[in-house]
């Protein structure tokens, strides 16, 4: 009886370990420039400003069979903001807005992943909830994410790709220059590939 119990425990441990090992670790392909964090924000309610952050990095773990077990961590350099207009970028970097001298980094760390179905193309969708730290303030946000696909690349690696969107209010992240209610809401558009760690 003892031997049977021991064997059952060993088998259960092995199966559990195998299940845990299925999630693979990835690094965001920053060097290959297959990673983007873009934003869209209204200018006084009259037009839109589009921009991006040029310097950011991240890691994630993912198993297509168990997407709910996925984890992701992203960090970006706030001074890398780019809107294709130097004076505007300088102003956004100033204490009126991002205050990059005081808050040089923004971070997102996931806390849960919940699948929500599939999109019109049959791609798996999920709500990725996480803590966003920006301008010295941490708030929980939900990213509407889509798993775009995975597979081998031509250079002997293995990749997985995702896209996501979320909308935040600037007023939730500390005191910034008030440009009216239309300019409080900011949409973030994220797309990236990760290369599986070897």
H helix runs in the chain, sequence order: 2-21, 86-93
Q: Which secondary structure element, helix H or strand E, spans residue 189, and what is its range?
A: strand 185-196
Q: Identify the structural domains of the chain with CATH numbers, from first to last.
A: 24-196 (2.40.128.110)
Residue 90 confidence (pLDDT) = 98
**Stretches in the chain below the pLDDT threshold 50:** 2-21
Q: What is the pTM of this model?
A: 0.85
pLDDT score for 15: 41
Predicted pLDDT of residue 107: 98
Longest dimension (CA), the chain: 77
**Distances in whole angstroms, Cα of residue 42 to Cα of each of 103, 168, 186:** 23, 13, 8
Report the pLDDT value the prediction gives residue 23, as an integer from 0 to 100: 86
> pLDDT at position 4, please?
47
- Distance between CA 197 and CA 4 in Å, rounded? 38
Q: Which of 141, 136, 182 is nearest to 164 (CA)?
A: 141
pLDDT at 87: 98
Give the pLDDT of residue 31. Answer: 84
């Amino acid at each position: 009886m003892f031997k049977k119990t021991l064997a059952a425990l060993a088998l259960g441990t092995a199966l559990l370990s195998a299940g845990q090992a299925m999630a693979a670790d990835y690094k965001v392909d920053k060097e290959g420039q297959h990673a983007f964090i873009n934003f869209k924000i209204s200018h006084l309610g009259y037009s839109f400003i589009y921009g991006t952050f040029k310097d950011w990095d991240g890691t994630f773990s993912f198993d297509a069979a168990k997407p709910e077990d996925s984890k992701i961590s992203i960090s970006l350099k706030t001074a890398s903001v780019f809107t294709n207009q130097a004076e505007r970028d300088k102003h956004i970097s100033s204490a009126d807005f991002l205050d990059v001298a005081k808050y040089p980094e923004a971070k997102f760390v996931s806390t849960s992943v919940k699948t929500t179905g599939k999109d019109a193309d049959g791609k798996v969708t999920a709500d990725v909830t996480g803590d966003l730290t920006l301008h010295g303030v941490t708030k929980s946000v939900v990213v509407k994410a889509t798993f775009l696909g995975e597979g081998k690349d031509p250079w002997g690696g293995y990749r997985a790709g995702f896209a996501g969107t979320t909308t935040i209010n600037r007023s939730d992240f500390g005191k910034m220059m008030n440009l009216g209610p239309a300019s409080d809401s900011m949409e973030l558009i994220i797309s990236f590939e990760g290369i599986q760690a070897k």
